[in-house]
Structure 1
Amino acid sequence: MTTRSRYLLLLGLRWLPVGLMIPVIVLLPLERGLSIAQVGAVAAIQGFTVLFLELPTGGLSDAVGRRPVLLIAGVVNLAAIVLWTVADSVPMFALVYLLQGVYRALDSGPLEAWYVDSALAEDPEADIEAGLSHSGVVLGLAIAGGALLSGGLVWLGPLGWGPLGSVSALTVPVLVALVLSLLGTVALALLMSEDRPARGLAGLAASVRGVPAAIGGALMLVRRSRVVFALILVELFWSFGMVTFEKLMPVRLSEVMGDPGAAAALLGPVNSVAWLASAAGAALVPLLARRLGPAWTSVALKIVQALTIVAMGLLGGPAGVIAGFLLCYAMHGAANPVHAGLLHRQAEGAYRASLISLNSMVGQPGFAIGAIVLTAVAGQAGTPAAIVTGAVVLGLAAPLYLLRPKKEFREQSPSGISGSLAL
């Protein structure tokens, strides 16, 4: 099995349980007695945990190795899902989200960094963008498939058998996610190989002491490279704008339909189709990148995505809102692998996971600020105005992709023709 095949298989196993959990992640705590305000409060714990741990865990991955960090993450995730199956109070759900935050921080970056390092070690001219675009396809299909499977499991109703006795319909997808997460962790142990010498406890201690150096190396890349700094700023603006289609779209759909219940029922299949659209965008983007180059492709995708968000906010009727939403997700799925490829081209192998974590970490405050600002705008000026505002901020990221390094360097294009990478 090739490195790319192993990477895509492990990625699919990582995100399929997420798709199963998405449709019930709010409804299950409500069923067990939490209020909507309490659900929001405990869910925020995950975001703050990721924010504080993202960069240190990225440094840990660079210092200790991708495989051990991912295996630790898998164990933490299993503990969180086990607790999900029985949690019935605010403190228990708070612990669930704390563990999920630790898992997300540990899991963010190492698998992708392992794939890129392994692919470039096998072939320095490897087309990593193609592999990353394939990963976007797999991610979208896994989440969409998991969400559809979750809906089917809930529709079948509660389980009245087994060692747990009667299990509610909303808990069934969580149990299936637990089994698939266990399978994914075992697959990591079997399929992920890493060439790092065993050095005993002393070597492990030395690696852990290297975490600050790995973090410092990633920060140094940002300080000395205006291209890396620009890419990090893109992530900040992008995350701000993501609030429009992740948080405000359901509100907008409810407004144009005039029936919150009908809008909620429609959101399930619409979200599944959106992830399929994201997968389609990721599958098609290599064709565009070969013609325009990664930088200009990123500019075009950001501008078009901003326009689809404007459409989502201004078009009348459910059909217009949903059409804008689906096109937005297609652009989102296409943009992710190109942005990741540009970031990887600027990263040094020793600090690769740290830089990915830094990029991800910037997204946390970006999204949080966007949520605060745009919901305030929605309250004062209406949801369409808030959505358009978010679209404008997201679109402002587009020119940052054109920032060139002080010294332009050359690389082999996927076609084998040497050319400059203008960023």
Structure 2
Amino acid sequence: MTLPSPRSARRRYALISFLTWLPPGLTLAPMILLMTERGLGLAAIGLVTASYSATCIALELPTGGLADVLGRRAVLAASAAFGLAGLAMLAFATTVWQFLAALSLKGVARALASGPAQAWYVDALHVAEGPDADLKPGLARGEAMGAVALCAGTLVGGLVPPAVPEQVITPLAVPVLAGAVASAVLLVAVLVAMPEPPRPRPTLTGVLRDVPATIGTGLRLALRDRGLGRLLLVAFAIGVAVNSVELLTPGRLATLSGRPESGGTVYAIVAALGFAANALGHTLAPAAARLLGTSARAAAAATVVTAAALGALAASVALSGVPGIVAAAVTYVVLFAGLSVTGLLRAEMMHRRVVSTRRATLMSVDSLQLQLGALVSSLAIGRLAAPAGTAAVWTIAAVVLLVSALLYPHRPRGRVPAEDPQPVR
């Protein structure tokens, strides 16, 4: 099967990115509220959401290895199928065990989706234009479309339920069912729009042998290439920062708005503004790299801006009412715009340090680092938020992110290596 032209690959990657992130966007605002409405307390909700994170962490590396061994299309199609099943179950779940199963299926879908589409696009561009192809424009378009999907999905998920008659269906379940439909569309799109070169027919013995070997090689690569290792440590810092914002902002906005119900709507709007800024940041990232001379410099500068925005969010805790909400919205816009510039340029630098047969595994290692940062942040917030306050938690996260700006490698990698690279300082 022939891979598409560079122009066609960019369009297809953008479509797949949009459809991949639309289901999470649709379920972001209503999911916790749906669990609460169906009788789950805070402890049960914490258990359910922890099952999602635990599933992601456990499967990140095996699913990345599968994508490198079995192919990107097969793994991403499996992700869409698991996402469809998980969201369909979530819409009708009524007990803790049903919610646990639904979130676990969502976790499997998320782990399977971390890397295959981006790896497919980079492979297609390298086949068409060679190892020196400029990855930034296509990656920017794809990541921007993913952010647009999150923005649109969050708005729909937050604004549609109040307009749905309760006699027809539970209003909060409507965006979740829409997410299941979007997952079905993603499944079809992946099978149609992601052609891959023929691969040898896999056997169970071969998969059991090759996947662990691929994972091991990917981990050794990250340890040997010091530049790559530093880029992966940045993901840990980003996980700490983003998780602290996502966990504490809803409660902060609910307090500012005066009511939990209005707080949910305000959060949906503020989060949507952040995702819109995320899309804009991805679009501007190539220009930022040209302006500052290298991707590493631009990524480091964007990290500093993001840390400053998080510090400003901490300072905004002193405000109340509408001024506090406006301050949160403005800092969200700057914060997520900076994160998107950093994320895209960091991805480009990592792709230039790895061969095709390790590409999806590397993306899974990166996602694992992000999840570990989020896990550490969750544990720390549980201990710090009550005695120290929201501002203190955000300040610590801002400092962690600021320090990570020092991790970007100073020596750029200009060509994708033919084999696993030697250490690079």
Q: If the length of structure 1 is used for normalisation, what is the TM-score?
A: 0.90
Q: Secondary structure at the match of 2:172?
A: coil
> Runs of 5+ in structure 1 lacking a partner?
161-165, 413-421
Q: Which residue of 1 aligns with 2:49?
A: 43
Which residue is equivalent to 1:267?
Answer: 267
Structure 1 equivalent of residue 315 of structure 2: 314
Instruction: Indicate yes or no: 2:312 matched with 1:286.
Output: no
Displacement of 1:258 in angstroms is 6.1
Shift of 1:375: 4.1
Q: Is the 8 A contact 2:232 2:366 kept in 1?
A: yes
* Equivalent of 2:199 in 197, 200, 218: 197
**Residues 377, 197 of structure 1: CA spacing in aligned structure 2 closer, same or farther, 3 A cutoff?**
closer
CA distance in 1, matches of 2:119, 2:31: 29
Q: Distance in 2 between matches of 1:259 and 1:79?
A: 34
Shift of 1:102: 1.2
Distance 1:102 1:137 in 2: 24
Match of 1:378 in 2: 385
Q: Which runs of 5+ in 2 are unaligned?
A: 1-6, 417-423
Greater shift after overlay, 369-378 or 323-332?
369-378
Q: Does 1:176 align with 2:182?
A: no
Go from structure 1 to structure 2 and tell me whether the alpha carbon gap of 1:82 and 1:263 turns closer, same or farther (over 3 Å shift): closer
SS across alignment from 2:84:
helix
- Which residue of 2 is the match for residue 418 of structure 1? none
Letter in 2 for 1:149: V
Question: What is the Cα deviation at residue 61 of structure 1?
Answer: 0.9
C-alpha separation between the residues in 2 aligned to 1:106 and 1:154? 29
Q: 1:151 to 1:237 in 2, by over 3 A?
A: closer
1:67-146 correspondence runs (5 A): 67-124=73-130, 125-146=132-153
Whether the aligned pair in 1 keeps the contact of 2:352 and 2:413 (CA below 8 Å) is: no
Shift of 1:409: 5.0
Per the alignment, do residues 357 and 121 of structure 1 end up closer, same or farther by CA in structure 2, a change over 3 Å counting? same
For residues 73-112 of structure 1, give each alpha carbon's deviation from its aligned partner in whole angstroms, at most 9, with x where no partner exists: 2221111122112210001101011111111111111111
By how many angstroms is 1:224 displaced?
1.3
Structure 2 distance, partners of 1:61, 1:358, is 13
Residues 374, 390 of structure 1: 8 Å contact kept: no
Aligned equivalents of 1:312 and 1:237: distance in 2?
17
The answer to whether the Cα contact below 8 Å between 2:300 and 2:342 also exists between their aligned partners in 1 is: no
Shift in Å, 1:251: 3.8
Q: Look up the match of 2:375.
A: 368
- Aligned residue for 2:421? none
Match of 1:296 in 2: 297
Opposite residue 56 of structure 1, the aligned amino acid is P
Determine whether 1:17 maps to 2:23.
yes
Give the secondary-structure state (helix, strand or coil) at the position aligned to 1:25.
Answer: helix
Q: Alpha carbon RMSD of aligned pairs, Å?
A: 2.1
Matched letter for residue 154 of structure 2: A
Aligned counterpart, 1:332: 339
2:299 is aligned with what amino acid?
S
CA shift for structure 1 position 347: 1.3
Q: Distance in 1 between matches of 2:244 and 2:312?
A: 12
Counting aligned pairs with the same residue, the percent is: 33
Change (3 A) 1:251 1:147: closer
